[in-house]
């Protein structure tokens, strides 16, 4: 697989308070050629979004301390409307709310298949 140069790769912000989960998905996305930035919670993610205008997609867990994924998605839609959001959760009830906040439909359920995550990202990136 050819990996694009770091300055031309699409940028994915991976947000999850569970370090091991965040590391696994971030590493997989890097292996697929994406530029990846990691954040441990919604507040940290907003700091990144305010500092880096090259973010294309936010891939975030729903259940996090401080600011949850729904609140983060609402902030993104309001402040950075060109940035796409993918929500992920182990909870079934989250799907209804996620449908209204995500461009790509229902949320990704945990545990998620890494190839399905990449397919969802590619689909969002090719929409534009």
Region 20-36: what's the mean pLDDT? 94
CB atoms within 10 A of CB 104: 18
Asked if pLDDT for residue 25 goes beyond 70, the answer is yes
Percent of the chain at pLDDT exceeding 70? 79
**13: Cβ–Cβ under 8 A, 6 or more apart, which residues?**
36, 37, 38, 39, 45, 48, 49, 55, 57, 58, 59, 60
Asked if pLDDT for residue 104 goes beyond 60, the answer is no
What is the Cα 68 distance to its own chain's centre? Answer: 13
Give the orientation angle of helix 19-31 with respect to helix 114-127, to 10 degrees.
60
In this structure, whether the domain defined by 11-127 belongs to CATH 3.40.960.10 is answered with no
d(CA 40, CA 20): 11
CB atoms within 10 A of CB 68: 20
d(CA 44, CA 47): 5
Backbone angles phi, psi at 17, to 5 degrees: -80, -15
pTM: 0.82
């Amino acid at each position: 697989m050819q990996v694009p140069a770091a300055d031309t790769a699409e940028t994915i912000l991976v947000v999850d308070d569970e370090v091991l989960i965040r590391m696994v998905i971030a590493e997989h996305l890097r292996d697929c050629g994406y530029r990846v930035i990691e954040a441990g919670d919604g507040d940290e993610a907003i700091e990144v979004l305010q500092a880096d205008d090259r973010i294309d997609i936010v891939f975030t867990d729903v259940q996090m301390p401080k600011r949850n994924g729904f609140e983060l998605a609402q902030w993104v839609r309001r402040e950075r409307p060109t940035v796409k959001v993918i929500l992920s959760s182990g909870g079934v009830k989250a799907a209804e709310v996620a449908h209204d906040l995500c461009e790509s439909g229902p949320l990704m359920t945990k545990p998620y298949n890494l190839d399905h995550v990449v397919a969802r990202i590619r689909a969002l990136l090719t929409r534009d």
